[in-house]
Copies of this chain bind each other. A is one copy, B any other.
Amino acid sequence: MNGNGPNKMVDPLEDPLPGLGTYEDFNTIDWVREKSKDRDRHREITNKSKESTVALLHSVSDAFSGWLLMLLVGLMAGGGAYIHDMHEIRLFFFFPPNVTLLSFSLQGAFAYIVNYLMYIVWALLFALLAVALVRAFAPYACGSGIPEIKTILSGFIIRGYLGKWTLIIKTITLVLAVSSGLSLGKEGPLVHVACCCANILCHLFTKYRKNEAKRREVLSAAAAVGVSVAFGAPIGGVLFSLEEVSYYFPLKTLWRSFFAALVAAFTLHSINPFGNSRLVLFYVEFHAPWHLVELVPFILLGIFGGLWGALFIRANIAWCRRRKSTRLGHYPVMEVLVVTALTAVLAYPNSYTRMSGAELIAELFNDCSLLDSSQLCGYKPPTNTSKTGVGNSLADRPAGEGLYTALWQLALALVFKMMITVITFGMKVPSGLFIPSMAVGAIAGRLLGVGMEQLAYYNHDSFIFKGWCSPGADCITPGLYAMVGAASCLGGVTRMTVSLVVIMFELTGGLEYIVPLMAATMTSKWVADALGREGIYEAHIRLNGYPFLEPKEEFGHSSLTVDVMRPRRSDPALAVLTQEGMTVGEVEALVESTRYSGFPVVVSQESQRLVGFVLRRDLLISIDNARKRQEGVVSASQVVFTEHAPAQADDGPPPLRLRGIVDLSPFTVTDHTPMDITVDIFRKLGLRQCLVTHNGRLLGIITKKDILKHMAQIANRDPDSILFN
């Protein structure tokens, strides 16, 4: 980027000064510069490889280091997920066995109360430990981490967010948080954990340690790995990374993500944590096909999922905003304890809320057969009133008392989960949203499914069911409804579509149910989008004021670049450096009197013809270094950005030549460029800033932050909510 063509001898990218070309915390990287740096490095290695065998070996190992890194990420994340699962299971041993309210006797009641209290105490202990560890050691370990990872992948820097402390503390506290019975899942945080693994492993390879763009390629793959181990769905994981998380996802990353996701799934599979030979989290196998008429309830589930998703996002964001702006935010530990206590008190009496979210979903997804002893399968035995169908053990049956009890409990669980998740997500403990959302949808789906089943059983002669649902046939599968409902609600909250369907497809392993899933998730997305454009992760990104330029949303306004750039018409002129004629003192004064992160270099103040762009950080480091190391550099020394130093007076101090730090290929657009094109350029090239010209003269500058502020203004939001550059 710095014009280091073959004709230049001094290459400023060779790290002549430490810190040159690096970024400060909470800043946006320049993708083009980073990628160009990597290509320079690669070119150099390739050129050297012709010289000696050692260099050739270095070149080969460099080429394969990406794959090796992927292998390590896969192994580490796969192994980590296993340890994680084991811990969770161990911790669950502390819990008292299931004693339901039905076994009511005096002794039973006493035991029940003791267990109830024990449950609450354990829950509070786990939660306290979790929040204390997060507060003490790694504040970044809280939440799901996906909004921040999205922002980081789009080119933002948050130091320590993917560090070893975050990894360790998040792994431990996630187990504690899940064990405390809070309405949260571990799937989202597993993506964060996988990204931490990848980031730490990146330090083993210079190629990835030193280059922010290359590292982000690895992190994209790690996000895929996280979902791959969370659900046992490698293809779904890759598509999740592509659709939901990643910003820059070249084909090379696609291959590598897929490889890493497979390695991770295979590693986990080899250790076999789910206790069966399948590697998926919720393995389901349905026996009956679905009928076209059932698309109506499936689409209803999609509408429910979309509505719930949109409402959940609004409620959760409102609650989080309240936490930020009121005194509530000052007592995070207390908040966690109160919510945990509330959850425990309300959850224990109902067996469907007492069990973990994953268990609940697994039970709801299950198909009933006569042998199943679950309450959900409390049907009356076949009465044989119908003479046609005898002996089909899977046939639709009338609901019995057990099932009616289960339905009531499920309805209460639905209301409870819908409420409690809103205040749980965003607390200072690791908390994922996949499982709670899926649980809400699965409950709703199962309720509708059982309803449909009973409707079909009692009305099999009506025009709707006639022809495909004869008595004694197994025509409605409530488990499938639960699955469709789970997909709808997760889709409504996260706005995933393809990746969600593929994850679900990998869970069932059959193409037959893709159409219901597709119909429901699409409906869900449309309904939710109609009520609010943003998914939960984008909403949290905006809440935190991160500079994230959504790649999916089109810029719909008809403004021109001149309306968005700085300086505005009333502002003072743009601060520029001239390529010669300024002294070190003048440059320092200019830098100190402004807070811009970079300055354009022009031929002269009069012509305003653009030469290049120099970053504030690089300028300060270089001048500082020159003052320390180079002789004769004083405030009166000329700063020269041209290739050849001008003829100078003999008596003056020698000039300070800084062409090496000038980016001689800054991006420019004209003032007449419609903003939609400018936004497109920023998105596609991953720019940080762009200069604006008019008829060949430099007119102003436009940064990512300016664009985001402008977009906020158009959407009637506070432009000052964009906090970072």
Contact = CB atoms under 8 A, between A and B. Distances in A.
A611 B559 CA distance: 19
Contacts of A554: 39, 42
Interface string A539-579: 00000000000011011111111000000000000000000
B36 A674 contact: yes
Contact of A680 (B35, B259, B262, B505): B35
A396 interface: no
Interface in A153-199: none
Contacts of A258: 497-498, 501, 518
Given A611-B695, A685-B681, A43 B556 contact: yes
A42 B556 CA distance: 8
B677 A36 contact: yes
A422 interface: no
A244 to B, nearest CB: 9
B511 A506 contact: yes
A510 interface: yes
B610 A695 contact: yes
A279 interface: yes
Nearest to A280: B511
A297 interface: no
Contacts of A382: none
Given A5-B672, A5-B674, A610-B695, A509 B506 contact: no
Interface string A235-248: 10010001100000
A696 B603 contact: yes
Interface in A585-626: 602-603, 607-612
Contacts of A518: 258-259, 262
A204 to B, nearest CB: 22
A693 B611 CA distance: 10
A609 B697 contact: yes
B259 A522 contact: yes
B610 A696 contact: yes
A221 to B, nearest CB: 12
Interface string A1-32: 10111100000000000000000000000001
Given A36-B676, A254-B498, A684-B684, A235 B611 contact: no
A664 to B, nearest CB: 4
Contacts of A251: 243, 551-552
Given A243-B254, A607-B696, A672 B664 contact: yes
A673 interface: yes
Interface core residue of A234, A502, A666, A696 (most chain B CB under 10 Å): A696
Contacts of A672: 3, 5, 612, 664-665
8 contacts: A3-B672, A234-B511, A235-B502, A238-B498, A243-B254, A258-B501, A509-B511, A684-B684
Task: Give the 10 A-B CB pairs with smallest separation, nearest first.
Answer: A609-B696, A665-B673, A664-B672, A3-B672, A684-B684, A696-B696, A258-B498, A5-B560, A665-B670, A609-B695
Given A40-B558, A252-B552, A254-B498, 13 more contacts: A1-B677, A3-B560, A5-B560, A39-B556, A251-B551, A266-B515, A506-B511, A609-B695, A609-B696, A664-B672, A665-B669, A668-B668, A680-B685
